[in-house]
Amino acid sequence: DAGVTQSPTHLIKTRGQHVTLRCSPISGHKSVSWYQQVLGQGPQFIFQYYEKEERGRGNFPDRFSARQFPNYSSELNVNALLLGDSALYLCASSLARDRGSNEKLFFGSGTQLSVL
């Protein structure tokens, strides 16, 4: 079975531009989360979605937004890009069978975003 897939793998943008990153979860997984990993640091939580609803949001500005589609795939959008947005953006999926279960997160290989 395919793991979490993300596209594109690499992206170069200039300051002020907008970017859309895409993620397809593992088949059968209903929850998708997004993380930002700056070089030399651990990933930081941005968003979590389950059944198209936002379940959680990290400490990121409103320039960051996301959505989840009926097929459970997801998009992360970042507006008005800043140099500091340069990072590896990771998508993770989990089964999330119900609200009462805590399950393991499985990560994709990420999208490397460079803002010039």
Partner 1 sequence: QKEVEQDPGPLSVPEGAIVSLNCTYSNSAFQYFMWYRQYSRKGPELLMYTYSSGNKEDGRFTAQVDKSSKYISLFIRDSQPSDSATYLCAMTSFARDTGRRALTFGSGTRLQVQP
Under 8 Å CB-to-CB from 71, ≥6 apart: which residues? none
Residue 93 and residue 21 in contact, taking contact as beta carbons nearer than 8 Å:
no
**What's the rounded Cα separation, in Å, for the pair 74 and 67?**
6
102 lies in the site for partner 1, by CB under 8 A: yes
CB of 86 to partner 1, least distance (A): 14
CB of 19 to partner 1, least distance (A): 19
> Which of 87, 90, 113, 115 contacts partner 1 by CB under 8 A?
90
**What's the rounded Cα separation, in Å, for the pair 77 and 20?**
5
Query: Applying CB under 8 A, which residues contact partner 1?
Result: 4, 31, 33, 35, 40-45, 48, 50, 55-56, 58, 90, 94, 96, 98-100, 102-110, 112
